[in-house]
């Protein structure tokens, strides 16, 4: 069987072990005589699996008391709206670190006033605003919440530590969820589309503080209220069963491989391998992110010209290094090195980068 | 490998051939060296697969020019809202034939006036209103659309022929989609959650007439507009790739087995086998649906007491006839016999019903 090195930004590489397990038991879920895609979401078999998934996530993320976990559909785009519909009553502050926080803010603007708490737009989103820098964070009075994007898939920047405010903090962690430990207690709501580190496209995990839930708008249609899915334990309507099942498998994989501390260590090692290839290139590869804001998930860089970037991505594909083209909105190159991308893939990429440079450097 | 007869109402039985194909190629999608859950939704491999899925659906349903097909997430519950948000400007008429049309109407009431065009609530939703009966259908002036549910999963009734109005007609076909040919030209919008006949929970197919699209509310956030997904060919955001891939497989399966005419013929044969077991029982099994409104997808019936119904469902489970309990909102018994439920399952069920009756009949 052919298996490439997959640097896609999402949907993206999944752990081979997990894929094999899913394949192996695809026709019979736990002796039910049904595929996991055929079981009822009202069955004991499903409920036990969902319960275990939630318990594993609580364990891995060390989630304190007072938080609920729900599974939703619709991706980040739906969360942009749900966050605002549920919690934006007067105004909300957005930390604008790239395309996804900008989209979240634009969506929220349909429901109330929004403003930039801080932004790196002026420098082409190449950094995360410094939380200690005086005046960077300007929270206006009567702000309902502050919203941030923990990792910026397109620009390749990532929060290294998270800020604290006296208002609820909401984070889109879609692209670095479960890639490192997170102090959940700092947040009032965390959500993550699962299609990067956690599973097939089609589900979103939401971790929500009960205290925040009490402040939610309860005049919305039930489907648009987080409370509905908390009260109905994610089965208000049919949940995306296969996605949740897959999450379960990925969580087991993380758990038996040392949890999030171990995952972070290997992710840092992987990222260093690729960043080192940039740093030793004497400007042949120009990293987009400022060094203090570099993402361990998405390594973004440019070559001298768009033509050379195209050639680079194509040469990568020819060597089974897939997905090295940057996001269509910004161009350049990008290697997404999520949890399931093996160390060997990063080594192969660095080697390829060195070789391509030698061939093309003056 | 154990394989039960699966009468679940949804998620439900899928064709074994399709499950086997999905399993077989799960680690490598079309020689890409990636699982289908790992491919990018911006890749050629994905786009070709989605294009083929749409072409196959157009072929099988014989969809005329002037219609678009999109894939969304969020299930029927999300469609209840999208329909109203997009098209309810003044008032809308709902044909109330059970729980799901009632829920659709309640959701729409958040966005405008709604009224019952007709209802079978008075007779416990045991029939589909007769479209030829004088006065049954009372369309008020300035109605934006009429909405109906083609098959009522919970009550076991199904439209045999569809009505025509001088306003747009919108149908939830979630539970009998692709179970029989449909004259799509009669409808302005058809949607179907796929988790009955078509695939794993997590996607909705929407077939929408371009003329209707032109009337849509364009002041909504883009994520809530059908137009966005039409314009972006279902990839405004990451689509539920695995679900769409699975739909593709099911469509191929339908196509190589004679299409929807052949499917309807076998479905009618299957349904007759189960209804006959009810009809020859001399009242031991009481069919819920009026004979002229019987569903070929969900056969609903009662026994003398809730205790006996419980015993019936449990005895079924013991013989690997799974999912015979009625919906928790109405009780009773139900056998869902979607496309993928084999004829042999219906025969086994009828035999079991006869035997259970003989054991328990006075």
Active site residue B172: yes
User: Is residue B313 less than 8 Å (CB to CB) from chain A?
Assistant: no
Looking at every residue in chain A, the average pLDDT score rounds to 96
Q: Give the ipTM.
A: 0.97
pLDDT, mean of residues B36-62 = 97
- Tokens standing for residue A276: 């080192």
Contact A37 B3 (CB under 8 A): no
Mean pLDDT value across residues A278-299: 97
pLDDT digits (tens, 9 = 90+) for B55-72: 999 999 999 999 999 999
Specify the pLDDT at position B187.
98
Q: Is the pLDDT of residue A307 over 90?
A: yes
What tens digit of pLDDT does each residue of B243-290 get?
999 999 999 999 999 999 999 999 999 999 999 999 999 999 999 999
Nearest to A281 by CA among A353, A343, A362, A359: A353
Contact check, Cβ <8 Å, A202/B236? no
B100 marked among binding-site residues: yes
- A170 — phi, psi (to 5°)? -120, 130
* A241 close contact with B: CB closer than 8 A: yes
- For domain B259-360, give the CATH number: 3.90.1150.10
pLDDT in tens, A158-193: 999 999 999 999 999 999 999 999 999 999 999 999
- Do the beta carbons of residue A11 and residue A200 sit within 8 Å? yes
Residue B85 near residue B92 (C-beta atoms within 8 A): no
For residues A336 and A9, the answer to whether their CB atoms sit within 8 Å is: yes
The pLDDT value recorded for residue A137 is 80
C-beta atoms of B74 and A4 within 8 A: no
- Annotated catalytic, B100? yes
Query: What pLDDT score does A131 carry?
Result: 75
Q: Considering the candidates B172, B176, B188, B209, report the single residue annotated as catalytic.
A: B172
User: Given this model, what pLDDT does residue B134 score?
Assistant: 60
Burial class (CB in 10 A: 0-12, 13-18, 19+), B84: buried
Give me the pLDDT at residue A362, please: 73
Q: What percent of chain A has pLDDT over 90?
A: 94
Cβ-based neighbour number of residue A286 at 10 Å: 14
Distance CA A283, CA B173 (A): 58
Q: Please give the residue that has the higher pLDDT: either A328 or A228.
A: A228
Q: Does A351 touch chain B (CB under 8 A)?
A: no
Decide if B37 touches A, using CB distance below 8 A: yes
The strand pair at B298-302 and B333-336 is best described as: antiparallel
CA distance B205 to B174: 9
Q: Is A209 a catalytic residue?
A: no
Residue B22, classed as helix, strand or coil, is: helix
Q: How far is CA A256 from CA A17, A199, A252, A253, A340, in A?
A: 12, 17, 6, 5, 14
Provide the 10 A C-beta neighbour count for residue A135: 6
- Up-side HSE of residue A94: CA atoms within 13 Å toward CB? 28
CA distance B259 to chain A (A): 22
Query: In this prediction, what percent of chain B has a pLDDT beyond 90?
Result: 94
Nearest CA in chain B to A323: B40
Query: Which residue, among B78, B174, B192, B221, would best test binding to A if mutated, counting the most A CBs under 10 Å from its CB?
Result: B221
- % chain B with pLDDT above 70: 99
- Is A225 marked as binding a ligand? no
pTM of structure: 0.97
Question: What is the predicted pLDDT for the residue at A153?
Answer: 97
List chain B domain ranges: 17-256, 259-360
B203 and A202 in contact by Cβ < 8 A?
yes
- Which of B14, B73, B242 lies at the smallest CB-CB distance from A38? B14
Residues of A in contact with B34 (CB under 8 A): 3-4, 6, 8, 13, 322
Whether residue B133 has pLDDT greater than 80: no
User: Which whole number is the average pLDDT over A240-255?
Assistant: 98
The CATH class of the B17-256 domain is: alpha beta
Give the pLDDT score at A134.
Answer: 60
Residues 6+ apart with CB under 8 A from B48: none
Q: Is the pLDDT of residue A133 over 80?
A: no
Query: Does residue B206 sit in helix, strand or coil?
Result: strand
pLDDT above 70: residue B240: yes
Of A1, A81, A320, the CB nearest to B27: A1
Q: Tens digit of pLDDT for each residue in A316-353?
A: 999 999 999 998 888 899 999 999 999 999 999 999 99
Residue numbers of B between 147 and 186 with CB closer than 8 Å to A: none
Q: What is the mean pLDDT of chain B?
A: 96
Confidence at residue A182, expressed as pLDDT on a 0 to 100 scale: 98
CB-based contact B38 A8, cutoff 8 Å:
yes
Whether pLDDT at A135 is above 80: no
Integer angstrom CA distances of residue B16 from A32, B179, B184, B323: 15, 17, 29, 18
* CA–CA distance, B206 with B209 (Å, rounded to integer): 10
Across residues B199-204, what is the average pLDDT?
98
With bands split at pLDDT 50, 70 and 90, how would you rate the model's confidence at B317? Answer: very high
């Amino acid at each position: 069987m052919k298996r490439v090195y997959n640097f896609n930004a999402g949907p993206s590489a999944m752990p081979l072990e997990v894929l094999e397990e899913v394949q192996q038991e695809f026709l019979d879920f736990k002796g039910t005589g049904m595929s996991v895609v055929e079981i009822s979401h009202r069955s004991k078999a499903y409920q036990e699996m969902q319960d275990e998934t939630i318990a594993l996530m609580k364990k891995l993320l060390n989630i304190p008391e007072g938080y609920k976990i729900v599974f939703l559909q619709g991706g980040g785009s739906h969360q942009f709206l749900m966050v605002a519909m549920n919690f934006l009553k007067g105004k909300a502050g957005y930390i604008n670190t790239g395309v996804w926080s900008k989209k979240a803010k634009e969506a929220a603007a349909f429901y109330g006033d929004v403003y930039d708490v801080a932004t790196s737009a002026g420098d082409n989103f190449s950094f995360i605003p410094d939380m200690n820098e005086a005046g960077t964070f300007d929270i206006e009075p009567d702000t309902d919440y502050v919203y941030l994007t923990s990792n910026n898939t397109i620009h390749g920047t990532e929060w290294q530590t998270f800020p604290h405010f006296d208002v609820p903090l909401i984070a889109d962690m879609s692209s670095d969820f479960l890639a490192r430990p997170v102090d959940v207690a700092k947040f009032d709501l965390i959500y993550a589309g699962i299609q990067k580190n956690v599973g097939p496209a089609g589900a979103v995990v939401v971790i929500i503080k009960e205290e925040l839930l009490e402040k939610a708008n309860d005049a919305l249609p039930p489907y648009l209220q987080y409370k509905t899915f908390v009260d109905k334990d994610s089965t208000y309507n049919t949940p995306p069963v296969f996605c949740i099942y897959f999450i379960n498998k990925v969580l087991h994989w993380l758990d038996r491989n040392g949890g999030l501390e171990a995952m972070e260590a290997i992710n840092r090692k992987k990222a260093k391998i690729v960043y080192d290839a940039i740093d030793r290139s004497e400007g042949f590869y120009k990293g987009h992110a400022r060094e203090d804001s570099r993402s361990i998930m998405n390594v973004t860089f440019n070559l001298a010209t768009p033509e050379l970037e195209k050639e680079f991505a194509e040469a990568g594909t020819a060597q089974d290094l897939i997905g090295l083209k940057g996001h269509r909105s910004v161009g350049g190159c990008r290697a997404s090195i999520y949890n399931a991308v093996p160390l060997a893939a990063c080594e192969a990429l660095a080697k390829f980068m060195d070789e391509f440079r030698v061939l093309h450097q003056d």
